[in-house]
């Protein structure tokens, strides 16, 4: 564990420098423990792959006290987290995906670069379960990892101006679902009809950081029946 | 809902259509102090780009400090009042008129039904705040009515104000027409070159001593790529060893004011509508009290950076908070 200053009222705690379920589990555990210990003194926090950004109320507590609490809380924690890693306790959230050239314009590109057939790419993408490592970029955008190396693909050199809601993409070894229409440079392979961010419902997202996600291939008919819409790609 | 404070001199009751937008201006947004505690679902903060001017606008009217106000960037906003109430204007330097008659900023004004309220265009200081007695009454989303257009959240349907919008307000039955102002000596000065204090941090050790010295001793300029997400600056290239490391760095949380340096070496100060996580190296974060000096200004303004410690920053925050509490509001009549 390493603590760095981020800003006048923010400290960032690093638990490692790689994408790994054990490290992510430590970040999650630390977030829970520190939320309980600091309560309202925390204004906001960001859990990511291997770090926890803690933003505190600078008129109510100072960095020395926050650091002291971090050390007190997390020395015991690491043991707990490594016992409790990832796969053992997390629920698996299944998300349907309509994979096709119509809904996944980069399936062909990945096929050319990898030498795999489109069916193989689809099979590989849904063969693993993925951990939610971070949520950010846009409301409800969950970074999932890690995809099989054979289908890992660098971001598009020219990002799209418009990616439709529900688009499932791959960037390097990450995969994600665009919760809403936005610009984006990920390689698109399908569409998920499940709303990933809904301000009007509770919970607002079907997943949270630390969850395990599995994709399940569905047909066009099933996609339509689930309310899926093939939006604009630009 | 924003709540109005309980002032014994004031009686406010039901919500009504308070103002009609005749002309929305360049970028006019309803803002409260911001949306906090929602980074876990990817929501940014929003809120005023000039927190001090925002605070004064509400304080002049004895509003709740988190009450919803109008932030008018650059200018061009025109409103018609549907009620008799009081407003307060703070922030930028656009001419402000009531029924075509210029009136002073950094003070309260009474307006009555049919009055036309308008901003001209900023010359040097671009963010204007217009507060109304009791605050604009719009529904909070995720605990805040701060408008973040990129997220389609806050304000009226997550959008900037448009012509024809009706802005709900409390009916103000206050007959007290006393006006209040902030003395000139207590108003911030937004002219001249800008020195931003920086708390060094994050990946600062991946910038060489030479690059850090270059960052702290060079002149940067606000580029034309500046918006509520961030202000991109131009100046000498600042390099981090992470720029050439294969695989770069893992994405991580970005705090307010963080200075991100992408591979082109040109710093970006990340602001109210920033994305909450990102994977570019950061050299530190601008001290929040200095952010309005940046966000008020136009492309071309000169920027210098000066390092301060987190402890000095925290001490300055306490002093500024105390001074603000102690500053007297002046009565005009």
- For the domain that residue B248 is a member of, what is the CATH number? 2.40.100.10
Statement to judge: residues A18 and A58 lie in one domain: yes
DSSP summary character for residue B234:
E
**Mind telling me how many Å the CA of B250 is from chain A's nearest CA?**
7
Contact state of A51 with B253 under an 8 Å Cβ cutoff: yes
Among A87, A115, A130, give the residue marking a domain's end. Answer: A87
**Mind telling me how many Å the CA of B182 is from chain A's nearest CA?**
24
Contact state of A7 with B250 under an 8 Å Cβ cutoff: no
Residue B167, pLDDT > 70, answer yes
Statement to judge: residues B222 and B287 lie in one domain: yes
Residue A48, pLDDT > 80, answer yes
The side-by-side arrangement of strands in the sheet containing B69-73 is: B27-31, B69-73, B127-132, B85-91, B107-111, B180-181, B330-331
Residue B7, pLDDT > 60, answer no
Nearest to B10 by CA among B174, B142, B130, B123: B174
The answer as to whether B331 is a domain residue is no
Q: A158-172, B11-25, B233-247: lowest mean pLDDT where?
A: B11-25
Statement to judge: residues A71 and A100 lie in one domain: no
Contacts of A19 in chain B (CB under 8 A): 250
Q: A76-90, A118-132, B91-105, B128-142: lowest mean pLDDT where?
A: A76-90
The answer as to whether A234 is a domain residue is no
Statement to judge: residues A23 and A80 lie in one domain: yes
The answer as to whether B333 is a domain residue is no
Statement to judge: residues A195 and A124 lie in one domain: yes
What sign does the CA torsion over B293, B299, B305, B309 have? Answer: positive
Nearest to B271 by CA among B38, B54, B52, B47: B47
Among B139, B155, B180, give the residue marking a domain's end. Answer: B180
Statement to judge: residues B94 and B199 lie in one domain: no
Summary mean pLDDT of chain A: 93
A225 φ, ψ to 5°? -65, -30
Residue A113 structural domain: 91-225
Residue B122, pLDDT > 80, answer yes
Contact state of A46 with B317 under an 8 Å Cβ cutoff: no
Statement to judge: residues A97 and A78 lie in one domain: no
Residue B240's SS3 state is: strand
Residue A77, pLDDT > 70, answer no
- Is A59 in CB contact (< 8 Å) with chain B? yes
The answer as to whether B199 is a domain residue is yes
Residue B319 structural domain: 194-325
The answer as to whether A231 is a domain residue is no
Statement to judge: residues B202 and B247 lie in one domain: yes
Mutate to test the interface with B, among A6, A32, A202 (most CBs of B within 10 A): A6
Residue B10, pLDDT > 70, answer no
Distance, CA of B48 to CA of B64 (rounded, Å): 15
Contact state of B256 with A51 under an 8 Å Cβ cutoff: no
Contact state of A44 with B38 under an 8 Å Cβ cutoff: yes
Residue A87, pLDDT > 90, answer no
Residue A79, pLDDT > 60, answer no
Statement to judge: residues B133 and B261 lie in one domain: no
Statement to judge: residues A83 and A127 lie in one domain: no
Statement to judge: residues A188 and A129 lie in one domain: yes
Tell me how many domains chain B contains. 2
Supply the pLDDT for residue A91: 80
Statement to judge: residues B137 and B174 lie in one domain: yes
Among B124, B153, B180, give the residue marking a domain's end. Answer: B180
Residue B144's SS3 state is: strand
Averaged pLDDT for residues A190-208: 94
- Is A185 in CB contact (< 8 Å) with chain B? no
Helices (H), chain B: 51-60, 209-217, 291-295, 310-326
Summary mean pLDDT of chain B: 94
Statement to judge: residues B172 and B222 lie in one domain: no
Statement to judge: residues A50 and A137 lie in one domain: no
**Mind telling me how many Å the CA of B315 is from chain A's nearest CA?**
9
Statement to judge: residues B173 and B303 lie in one domain: no
Supply the pLDDT for residue A137: 84
CATH number of the domain residue A155 falls in: 2.40.100.10
Among B126, B152, B180, give the residue marking a domain's end. Answer: B180
Contact state of A10 with B255 under an 8 Å Cβ cutoff: yes
Q: What H or E segment, with its residue span, contains residue A21?
A: helix A21-38
Residue B8, pLDDT > 60, answer no
**A84 — pLDDT class (breaks 50, 70, 90):** low
CA A234 to chain centre: 24
Contact state of B252 with A12 under an 8 Å Cβ cutoff: yes
CA A8 to chain centre: 28
The answer as to whether B187 is a domain residue is no
The answer as to whether B189 is a domain residue is no
For the whole model, what pTM was predicted? 0.93
Supply the pLDDT for residue B291: 98
Statement to judge: residues A47 and A129 lie in one domain: no
Distance, CA of A180 to CA of B142 (rounded, Å): 18
Statement to judge: residues B160 and B227 lie in one domain: no
Tell me how many domains chain A contains. 2
Contact state of B250 with A50 under an 8 Å Cβ cutoff: yes
Of B36, B43, B252, Cβ closest to residue A43: B36
Statement to judge: residues A82 and A127 lie in one domain: no
The answer as to whether A213 is a domain residue is yes
Statement to judge: residues B246 and B313 lie in one domain: yes
**B3 — pLDDT class (breaks 50, 70, 90):** very low
Averaged pLDDT for residues B31-45: 97
Supply the pLDDT for residue B11: 46
Statement to judge: residues A39 and A125 lie in one domain: no
Q: What H or E segment, with its residue span, contains residue A47?
A: strand A42-47
Statement to judge: residues A80 and A12 lie in one domain: yes
CA distances from A122 to A222, B149, B203 (A): 17, 35, 38
**Mind telling me how many Å the CA of B224 is from chain A's nearest CA?**
21
**B316 — pLDDT class (breaks 50, 70, 90):** very high
Among A52, A87, A122, give the residue marking a domain's end. Answer: A87
Residue B177, pLDDT > 90, answer no
Statement to judge: residues B119 and B143 lie in one domain: yes
Distance, CA of A41 to CA of A32 (rounded, Å): 14
- Is B315 in CB contact (< 8 Å) with chain A? no
Interface confidence (ipTM) of the complex: 0.93
**A181 — pLDDT class (breaks 50, 70, 90):** very high
Nearest CA in chain A to B318: A59
**B137 — pLDDT class (breaks 50, 70, 90):** very high
Statement to judge: residues B31 and B170 lie in one domain: yes
Distance, CA of B180 to CA of B50 (rounded, Å): 20
């Amino acid at each position: 564990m390493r603590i760095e200053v981020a800003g006048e009222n923010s400290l960032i705690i690093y638990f490692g420098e790689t994408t790994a379920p054990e490290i992510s589990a430590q970040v999650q555990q630390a977030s829970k423990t520190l939320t309980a210990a600091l309560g309202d003194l925390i204004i906001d926090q960001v859990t990511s792959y291997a770090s926890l950004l803690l933003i505190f109320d600078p008129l109510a507590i100072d960095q020395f006290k926050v650091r002291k609490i971090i050390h007190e809380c997390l020395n015991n924690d690491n043991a707990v987290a490594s016992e409790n890693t990832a796969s053992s306790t997390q629920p698996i959230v299944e998300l349907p995906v309509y994979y096709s050239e119509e809904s996944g314009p980069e399936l062909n590109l990945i096929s050319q670069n990898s030498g795999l057939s489109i069916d193989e790419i689809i099979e590989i993408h849904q063969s693993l379960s993925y951990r939610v490592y971070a949520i950010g970029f846009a409301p409800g955008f969950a970074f999932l990892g890690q995809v099989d190396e054979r289908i890992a693909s660098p971001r598009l050199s020219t990002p799209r101006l418009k990616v439709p809601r529900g688009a499932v993409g791959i960037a390097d070894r990450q995969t994600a679902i665009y919760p809403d229409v936005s610009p984006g440079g990920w390689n698109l392979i399908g569409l998920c009809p499940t709303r990933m961010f809904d301000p009007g419902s509770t919970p607002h997202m079907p997943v949270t950081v630390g969850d395990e996600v599995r994709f399940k291939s569905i047909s066009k008919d099933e996609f339509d029946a689930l309310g899926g819409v093939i939006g604009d790609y630009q | 809902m924003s709540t109005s404070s309980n002032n014994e001199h004031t009686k406010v009751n039901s919500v009504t259509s308070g103002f009609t937008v005749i002309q929305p201006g360049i970028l006019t947004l309803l803002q409260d102090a911001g949306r906090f505690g929602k980074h876990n679902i990817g929501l940014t903060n929003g809120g005023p780009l000039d927190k001090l001017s925002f605070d004064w606008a509400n304080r002049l009217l004895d509003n709740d400090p988190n009450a919803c106000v109008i932030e008018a960037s650059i200018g061009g906003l025109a409103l018609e009042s549907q009620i008799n109430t009081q407003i307060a204007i703070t922030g930028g330097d656009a001419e402000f008129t009531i029924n075509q008659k210029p009136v002073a900023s950094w003070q309260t004004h009474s307006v009555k039904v049919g009055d036309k309220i308008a901003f001209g265009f900023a010359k040097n200081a671009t963010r204007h705040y217009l507060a109304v007695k009791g605050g604009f009454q719009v529904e909070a989303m995720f605990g805040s009515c701060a408008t973040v257009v990129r997220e389609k959240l806050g304000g009226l349907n997550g959008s900037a104000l448009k012509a024809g919008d009706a802005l709900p307000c409390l009916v103000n039955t206050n007959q007290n027409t006393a006006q209040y102002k902030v003395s000139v000596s207590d108003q911030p000065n937004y002219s001249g070159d800008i020195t931003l204090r920086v708390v060094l941090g994050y990946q600062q050790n991946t910038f060489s001593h030479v690059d850090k010295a270059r960052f702290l001793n060079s002149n940067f300029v606000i580029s034309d790529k500046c918006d509520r997400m961030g202000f991109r600056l131009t100046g000498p290239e600042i390099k981090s060893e992470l720029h050439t490391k294969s695989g770069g760095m893992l994405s991580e949380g970005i705090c307010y004011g963080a200075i991100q340096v992408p591979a082109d070496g040109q710093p970006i100060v990340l602001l109210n509508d920033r994305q909450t996580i990102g994977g570019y190296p950061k050299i530190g974060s601008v001290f929040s009290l200095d952010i309005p000096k940046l966000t008020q200004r136009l492309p071309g303004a000169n920027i210098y950076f000066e390092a301060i410690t987190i402890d000095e920053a925290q001490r300055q925050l306490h002093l500024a908070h105390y001074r603000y509490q102690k500053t007297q509001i002046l009565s005009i009549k």
